[in-house]
Structure 1
């Protein structure tokens, strides 16, 4: 293995490691936050351990605007764990290329934390298979009781490569992120309620067009969406296809191979033909669609809940009497409804073979997962950074943002039971933000939140290699159908192209895994 690894290093240094770079499709959706309140609130007192007695560690982190070494969390962790850590960052631009060089050259990092997206999962798997990473299983068994106790076992299993664990996963919080946001004052003007079905949505959009509650005349836009979105969240869920891959009769099936695909296309095409969907939809940038909504020209927009404060401020600045909010998950003709939620890894932390202190790296990661340490690391000290009342963590500003806004970048695994509760302090920084998140993730029926079924799939070479191409292919074709540049009579020919472009190989690989995962 060492011999092969050395050959690989020389090849990388000579010509660069070739790993397909993909974009993770999701929804950065995430699992519903647990309603379970942590048993007790730890003391904020920091116990100091003598750092001289422990190895100095060197880590590589994802990019952030602040220097990790001077950020308050770094100082807290040094005091609490006793480990002095020097933090380096990957560049913001093309981090994968830099990571390849550092791994191949044997830079002695004791821990490396990357994003958990498809492209980094591909790199991680490649490094593991080529012998560049340390098998963490034996180290965790000996030095990682907290790691084993608080990290979701399913996440640990999903992070394995060929049956061995080479990375500690930081699990994403599975939020629903995106849905349809409507002018509620427009609804009042046309004397209608917020739509709950596809038929009601069509009726509301028709009323917005015909009665022009915004007084826009021929500039009136019932629904605006940015052009890169071929599958409109919430609407596509009403056809049983909230995610790009969905369970259809026991098989994982991409949207364009789903029998419901033609029904979705026909519905959205009809909206466009009737003038209910922005006629400039294809050309819209994200900022363009938002400007149309905040200027008062559009009555509905596809929006991420994290944008609500900015959109709300801009809208009320232009129209002081305006009111807006998210609509519920729409039901289709057969009662289906679904909002896509992300599922998978936010981060992956691995230890390269070049590490000088692998045992200490695991001890450090384990120490960060002590209950008191983890809580303070992520949201700070009670009555200084946050208040706690009835199980609710509320940030104290501005110190929370100044000293814990980037705390998530220090995660190397998380307390998967309690972190979704602690994390909510972040969205309570602005109650409009919290209310938008809460509506989509807590108040909506639980069965309308549909997590990505492939979120915890292992690294699948064919799927990973082909995903971005297939996603783009399906999106481009769907847009052409909506605008009339293609006709559904040509769907069979497109499906043949989709399958030959990696769709068939991906389908087999995904379902071979899924058949074993269901057992």
Structure 2
């Protein structure tokens, strides 16, 4: 997980160049390979990797050309397969992918939600390929991860990217707690008391009333805090009055959650720009942020970068065990249909599966090589602690197709900048005991049926996001909450409830 999905996980924009150079300077003319008998040369099977996995987050400009060629030759020699990386244009990866899928362009594998592509006939089921060439992939992922890859007929459409995880913890400046003689908060009242102290007592010591008690966003307040107010957390729920599945807005406690967030916002406890675009890294650099409830990597990846510029002792720690009136504050992210898929256009699907499977062999060695080439090494004998061997990454990961918890939780960087992120992944991300799980977390809803049976589904989704922001920021008074619920019904919420309930009852196990 080099960055957010996902959904999970908000990836960095990729470069607009196809890095497909080979020894002849043309990625479509592979180097010939001799047969074992010394007979005529034969052309290796080419596989075309659409690199939208997020692997290039570590180096968005891509590899040094000769290092990319070195890695291509490595796979040609090791597997007898010639990989060709297609790096999509900046800011339009999905658009470019759809154009390629609908044209004569070669594209064999990419990352996507399989249910978005299976119904369109763009990808193929993988059962037989996994049985024949993907045994290491099958062993690497737990059974529940495969459930998200499988349709009602038992067809497996993708290779998992992740599994249920905790993505929105609450981080707090523990050095500020010590400075103000405060204990780590264990409930909502104590959490609010800490925010109040951060706001009023100038823990950053700049003499100004500009401390930001909490940096967050819309997903942050829902996934990190809503569980303390709603029995099922940030989740749909079953209304016992009619046994129908309903959205969180109709659950007991939602109005209290919204009112509390609005109160915190008006008191200045929540960053004023939380629900518009802002740069978390630049905000952290100001040494004014007391807490964060955003996606975990907003701290694990960003804070270590700027820590040397902050006062000595600056530290963020996770608030563990905190609860509200309805229990745990956090809601875990369920598994998803995000996966590596193989297209119907693939001329050598067996080679694609062999290539992916290779990165699941000898975990984490092969997956690390796919990510960093030869620019890494183990620091001990345990095949767990690693470090990068060069200050600058030369191979960016264009051929990496094994991103996900099955490989990324098997190593940790012995590096002050990367260690915090690795420690979160290996020690915290899969600890589901600290969070609530959505009640329909195992349901893969049929998106086509949702669109067909809820014509206004997108309007309802938009209302749910936009109006929540309005209530929290005070643009709409809490007194209009009942009017908001009526708005949802006018937008087709009855149809929403009927269709989601139908699918939930049909698909639940």
Give the TM bin, normalised by the shorter chain.
0.7 to 0.9
How many angstroms apart in 1 are the aligned matches of 2:289 and 2:481?
32
Aligned to 1:205: 195
Aligned to 2:261: 268
Higher relative contact order (CA 8 A, sep 6+): 1
| Pair 1:59–1:400, CA change in 2 (3 A) | farther
- Structure 2 length as normaliser, TM-score? 0.74
2:9 to 10, 28, 38: 28
Quick check: 1:234–1:242 contact (8 Å CA) kept in 2?
A: no
| Pair 1:27–1:134, CA change in 2 (3 A) | closer
Q: CA deviation at 1:496?
A: 3.4
How many angstroms apart in 1 are the aligned matches of 2:492 and 2:415?
40
How many angstroms apart in 2 are the aligned matches of 1:26 and 1:470?
20
How many angstroms apart in 2 are the aligned matches of 1:92 and 1:430?
25
How many angstroms apart in 2 are the aligned matches of 1:50 and 1:133?
32
Q: CA deviation at 1:61?
A: 1.1
SS in 2 for 1:493: helix
Aligned to 2:109: 112
1:385 to 362, 376, 382: 376
- What do the CA deviations read for 1:221-258 (whole angstroms, capped 9, x no partner)? 35243565573542223224787534446865432222
Aligned to 2:316: 324
Describe how 1:487-498 pairs up with structure 2 within 5 A. Answer: 487-498=477-488
How many angstroms apart in 1 are the aligned matches of 2:62 and 2:488?
43
1:172 maps to 2:155: no
Aligned to 1:184: 174
Q: How many residues align?
A: 462
Quick check: 2:238–2:246 contact (8 Å CA) kept in 1?
A: yes
Please identify which structure carries the higher helix content: 1
How many angstroms apart in 1 are the aligned matches of 2:77 and 2:146?
28
Aligned to 2:14: none
- Structure 1 length as normaliser, TM-score? 0.73
How many angstroms apart in 2 are the aligned matches of 1:85 and 1:400?
27
Aligned to 1:99: 97
Q: CA deviation at 1:56?
A: 1.5
Q: CA deviation at 1:357?
A: 3.1
Aligned to 1:81: 79
How many angstroms apart in 1 are the aligned matches of 2:245 and 2:391?
42
Describe how 1:6-21 pairs up with structure 2 within 5 A. Answer: none
Q: CA deviation at 1:170?
A: 2.8
| Pair 1:101–1:213, CA change in 2 (3 A) | closer
How many angstroms apart in 2 are the aligned matches of 1:251 and 1:160?
25
Quick check: 1:271–1:277 contact (8 Å CA) kept in 2?
A: yes
Structure 2: state its 5+ residue gaps: 11-32
1:57 maps to 2:37: no
1:441 maps to 2:429: yes
Quick check: 2:167–2:295 contact (8 Å CA) kept in 1?
A: yes
1:66 maps to 2:62: yes
Quick check: 1:293–1:301 contact (8 Å CA) kept in 2?
A: no
SS in 1 for 2:119: helix
- What do the CA deviations read for 1:245-284 (whole angstroms, capped 9, x no partner)? 3444686543222222111012112223444334x34575
- What do the CA deviations read for 1:285-323 (whole angstroms, capped 9, x no partner)? 332x65455423343333444343533553552433533
| Pair 1:77–1:268, CA change in 2 (3 A) | same
How many angstroms apart in 2 are the aligned matches of 1:436 and 1:144?
29
- CA-based RMSD of the aligned residues comes to 4.2
- What do the CA deviations read for 1:375-424 (whole angstroms, capped 9, x no partner)? 433123999833275856112223598377627x532698x7x5253254
SS in 2 for 1:348: strand
SS in 1 for 2:252: coil
How many angstroms apart in 2 are the aligned matches of 1:359 and 1:318?
52
Describe how 1:150-169 pairs up with structure 2 within 5 A. Answer: 150-160=140-150, 163=153, 165=155, 167-169=157-159
SS in 2 for 1:430: helix
SS in 2 for 1:59: strand
Describe how 1:364-443 pairs up with structure 2 within 5 A. Answer: 364-366=355-357, 368=358, 371-372=361-362, 375-380=364-369, 385-387=376-378, 393-399=384-390, 402=393, 406=397, 410-411=400-401, 419-422=407-410, 424-425=412-413, 430-437=418-425, 440-441=428-429
Aligned to 1:39: none
Quick check: 1:240–1:260 contact (8 Å CA) kept in 2?
A: yes
How many angstroms apart in 2 are the aligned matches of 1:260 and 1:251?
18
Aligned to 1:460: 447
Q: CA deviation at 1:467?
A: 6.7
How many angstroms apart in 1 are the aligned matches of 2:69 and 2:457?
37
Q: CA deviation at 1:477?
A: 1.1
How many angstroms apart in 2 are the aligned matches of 1:101 and 1:190?
57
1:509 to 481, 494, 499: 499
- What do the CA deviations read for 1:417-459 (whole angstroms, capped 9, x no partner)? x5253254599863333345556437x6724264794476154
Aligned to 2:287: 296
SS in 1 for 2:255: helix
How many angstroms apart in 2 are the aligned matches of 1:100 and 1:420?
29
How many angstroms apart in 2 are the aligned matches of 1:505 and 1:266?
28
Quick check: 2:386–2:411 contact (8 Å CA) kept in 1?
A: no
